[in-house]
Amino acid sequence: MECGCLRKPAARAEPGSTSGQRADPEDVSGSEVLEWSGRGGSWKTGPPGTERADCGTAPPHADGDHPDDGSRRRVKGTNASALEKDIGPEQFPINEHYFGLVNFGNTCYCNSVLQALYFCRPFRENVLAYKAQQKKKENLLTCLADLFHSIATQKKKVGVIPPKKFISRLRKENDLFDNYMQQDAHEFLNYLLNTIADILQEEKKQEKQNGKLKNGNMNEPAENNKPELTWVHEIFQGTLTNETRCLNCETVSSKDEDFLDLSVDVEQNTSITHCLRDFSNTETLCSEQKYYCETCCSKQEAQKRMRVKKLPMILALHLKRFKYMEQLHRYTKLSYRVVFPLELRLFNTSSDAVNLDRMYDLVAVVVHCGSGPNRGHYITIVKSHGFWLLFDDDIVEKIDAQAIEEFYGLTSDISKNSESGYILFYQSRE
């Protein structure tokens, strides 16, 4: 995927204009954060000790001027005091910080997911708690913890931080991200959560082997040594149950499957509730798709349906907006209008599900901007202390709640540019 982000350091980009050079995480220092020094000026760095950031610094950059990328032409380096003014000194949350992230060459997919996760409070708190532990060998989680800690401990309330160390580590660990091509935000989210879980599980395993874990038994049976659940699982993991009913003997069998996010199909002019209902629609297995019933000892017609058995603390919903079109021999974007409410209750739950009436509040949305999967840009909108903010790489803006409707998608012509909700993060009230 090629990112069509517009990048201009001082003013709104005009069609056909050019701007600075991409920032390379290997070419920047790691001691200061960036500050814009005026409308016609340049980036400057704060003195060491006043705006220190462990993640490095970088100059302005460009991702190319693509007139069909669907991204908003926002002012790069928007005056930080303007955001503070929009929020208001009396309303600005205590101990909260709103920092944009520098784009290191088509890394908006990464920046957007990191901002969404930062404002999922249970996730942020666990990452910061990990940072507070004893020094560990560098890995993707230590780099993420350094980044979150750098944001959370800034003296200024707003600004820009270059996530140099995190991007460099990401590129070292996975060849998929070791380039300047745009990547899929959902794929990155999956990789990040699973990698963090693997790191935590491996550390627990090592602690147990070293006899450091309290109540650890070095001689316990091998079958009890399966991977332990981590705080990633406690936050994001839910359970689906796949129920299949034989239409001949009426025997019902079920199989559970854990998930960290749910991927749902989208249709035109629908809602998330409708998408989830379709996800759990009953499917009849017949003809060549007959189900082998162990009770009947033969293939039989059956009905299958998917239900949510365990609801996660934070429900991450991935809207499947990229579809392979056989006639075009390529993927295209489905810019369908899909309404996502600020409050959500799941109705596609199993009869034995716990907390059936659990209510969720929307806390973050990763938005894909553009007309297709190969050109585009990612931004994020988050809810923080009762108001909404838009993060577009290094730009942070306060927006009205009504503006969220702009990110539902389009009511017609799926090939047009759109800013469409792509990954939704709902947090449980419990």
Active site members: 108, 377
Instruction: Report the relative pairing of strands 158-161 and 98-101 from DSSP bridges.
Output: parallel
Determine the Cα–Cα distance for residues 390 and 392; give it in Å rounded to an integer: 6
- C-alpha span between 295 and 407 (Å, rounded): 49
- Return all residues near 326 (Cβ < 8 A) that are at least 6 apart: none
Count of C-beta atoms within a 10 Å radius of residue 4: 26
Distance CA 128, CA 145 (A): 6
DSSP E strand boundaries for 194-282: 238-246, 252-259, 262-265, 270-271
Sign of the alpha-carbon torsion through 28, 114, 363, 340: positive
- Report DSSP letters for 176-212, one per residue: GGSSSS---HHHHHHHHHHHHHHHHHHHHHHHHHTT-
* Locus of tokens 């560098």: 138
> 182 and 2 in contact (C-beta within 8 Å)?
yes
Chain Cα centroid distance, residue 235: 14
- Sign of the dihedral through C-alpha 355, 359, 364, 366: positive
